[in-house]
Structures are given as C-alpha cells and as structure tokens.
Amino acid sequence: MFEETLFQSSRAGEQFVDILKKQGIVPGIKVDTGLQPIDGTDGETATQGLDGLADRCKRYYEQGARFAKWRAVLKVDSDKCPSSTAILENAHGLARYAQIAQANGLVPIVEPEVTLGPGDYSIERTAYVSEKVNSHVFRLLNEYNVILEGILLKPNMILPGLDVPTPSPEEVAKYTVRTMLRSVPAAVPGIHFLSGGMSEEEATLNLQALQAYGPTPWSLTFSYGRALQSSTLKIWSGKESSWKAAQERLVALAKANSEAQLGKYAGPHPSPGGARILQALRLGGAGK
C-alpha cells in the first residue's frame, strides 16, 4: 500500500489493515518516495527515500505493516543503458533500504525493475542487462549484511523492447528462469514478478509458463499492480453501481494468477487479448 492507504479506513470505519488481516492478507507498505533523474545520464533515474526511513518504518510497523517495498527502475536499450552509474546508484538504494527495513521488522521486497520500454532491443539484451543488475544488487545486499532468507525479490520478466513482436510465454519463461538461476541465491525464499507493461492475459500466461521449469529453490510467483487493476479500474469507473462488478473482476484476475503460479491455470482469461499497459515514468517524487 501507499502511505495514505495504510492509515485509511472503510466508510463503516474499519481500518484497511484490519480488513486485510482478517482476510489473511499481510499489509505491506511502499516506502520509496519516487524517482528523480540522474544528471548526466540519458534519462536514467535514481529512487529516493532513505532519509528518515528508519523512523517511517517504525511507524508503519506500529500501524500493522509487516513488509515494505522499494522500486528501482533501470532503463534498457541496445547499447548504452543502463549505465554503470545508474546500476550502482539503484543497487545502493535498494541495499540500504533493505538493511533499514530488516532492522525495523519489515521484510523488504527488493525490486530492481529493468523496465519494458521503446526500441528494438532483443530479449537476449534484456536477459544480459537483468543479470548484470541483479549481480550488483546482490553484491550490495551482501555488503550491507541483508539477510537473504528475509527478503523477497520483485524482478521483471525477460522481454524484448516494445518494437519487437511479443514473444511466446515459452520463450519468456526460458529466458526468465535462466536469468533467475544465474542471479538469485537459493536462500531467497520467493521471487514475485512485476507485471510491468504486460497485458493482463500476458502476465498470467507468462507466469504459468514459468512453472514448467520447477521445482526451483525459490517460488516463482506474482506481485502485480497493473495486471490486476487495469480492467478492474475501467469496470468501476468511479460508479457506485459498478463496484461489485469491479470486485468480481479483481478476484477473477487474482484467481487466474494464483492458479498460474501453481502451474494450474487453464483459462479462459477474465480479461483476454488486452494491449500492453504502459505508463510513463513519473519523476519528481511520490507523496504528492
């Protein structure tokens, strides 16, 4: 959740964190304060949020949060991005955040997103870059004595640039699992993929395809934002009368992905044939 949401309640006055806990859903909290450009780079970003992070974590823990999340974004192209500056800056931010979160009782989700973007860079290029980024991230997590048994990883699946035809789930799975085997020590208990710009159906089919490579030392599962909410939001459209239908869509999407991470998704998809769900990188910090 975002900070505002962590402290909100239902109209009937029940705290959101309590509603979630009753459902067996653990409340988590986004603790980064957004992206800022790194000067001298080609549109690359750093993630902010270390200042006062320890105190904020304590407050969030008291409110009921039990895990945290920090999103680092790495731009990728065919040759220049990500730069070593961007890699080191983002790996450092993730490592310091993870250390502070663990020191304050929150399990850190470590999210080094090699972001799906414009261009014709190949799936091999994304795989290579993702391995490099992960190598730096783990090197710094180790340097800062982060307990790997107490983190979750939230990486991107391996996809080529937007100008390349969408690869099959089998191809995505092959490169994604290979990258994870090369980058992620067995001590990490879970890998929860981000959906990035994948369509809702693509996110489910790709997740299902990963399971063919099991058993793996870590679970291969999901932490989807856009791929659970995009059509949900459209159905709601702010209308009270569409509330129930929107909730039904959310549950259907969650169920499809829940089955997919067990390798048991059979379809049909609640939201078939959708386009990529792209959003521009928002700079200038969160909390606004």
Partner 1 sequence: MDESNATCGKRLASIGLENTEANRQAYRELLVTTPGLGDYISGAILFEETLYQSTLAGKKFVDCLKEAGIAPGIKVDKGLVPLAGSNDESWCQGLDGLAARSAEYYKQGARFAKWRTVVSIPNGPSRLAVVEAAWGLARYAAISQENGLVPIVEPEILLDGEHNIDRTLAVAEEVWSEVFYQLANNNVMFEGILLKPSMVTPGAECKERVTPEVVAEYTLKMLKRRVPPAVPGIMFLSGGQSEVEATLNLNAMNQSPNPWHVSFSYARALQNTVLKTWGGNPEKVKAAQTALLIRAKANSLAQLGKYSAEGESEEAKKGMFVANYTY
- Positions marked active-site: 111, 154
Determine the size of the site formed for partner 1 (CB under 8 A): 20
Give every CB contact of residue 17 below 8 A, 6+ residues apart in sequence: 6, 27, 63, 64, 65
Q: Is 187 in the site for partner 1 (CB under 8 A)?
A: yes
Q: Is 190 in the site for partner 1 (CB under 8 A)?
A: no
Give every CB contact of residue 24 below 8 A, 6+ residues apart in sequence: none
Q: Is 88 in the site for partner 1 (CB under 8 A)?
A: no
Give me the 164-183 binding string for partner 1, x by CB under 8 A, dash otherwise. --------------x--xxx
Name which of 3, 6, 54 is nearest 27 in CA terms. Answer: 6
Min. distance of Cβ 266 from partner 1 in angstroms?
A: 29
Stretch that binds partner 1, among 39-47, 131-139, 194-202, 229-237 (CB under 8 A): 131-139
Stretch that binds partner 1, among 11-19, 64-72, 185-193, 249-257 (CB under 8 A): 185-193
C-alpha pair distances (Å), 87 with each of 21, 132, 185, 287:
36, 9, 20, 25
- Pick one of 56, 136, 192, 226: the residue that binds partner 1 (CB under 8 A): 136
Bridge partners of 68?
29, 108
Q: Is 135 in the site for partner 1 (CB under 8 A)?
A: yes
Q: Which of residues 204-263 bind partner 1 (CB under 8 A)?
A: 216-217
- Pick one of 132, 166, 190, 276: the residue that binds partner 1 (CB under 8 A): 132
Angle formed at CA 123 by CA 120 and CA 127, multiple of 5 degrees: 130
Stretch that binds partner 1, among 59-67, 71-79, 141-149, 191-199 (CB under 8 A): 141-149
Q: Is 87 in the site for partner 1 (CB under 8 A)?
A: no
Q: Is 142 in the site for partner 1 (CB under 8 A)?
A: yes
The secondary element (H helix, E strand) that includes residue 112 is: strand 107-114
- Pick one of 80, 139, 239, 255: the residue that binds partner 1 (CB under 8 A): 139
In angstroms, rounded to a whole number, what is the distance separating the alpha carbons of residues 194 and 185?
A: 19
Q: Is 38 in the site for partner 1 (CB under 8 A)?
A: no
Give every CB contact of residue 197 below 8 A, 6+ residues apart in sequence: 116, 162, 226, 276, 277, 278, 279
Tokens for 241, please give them. 């009368």
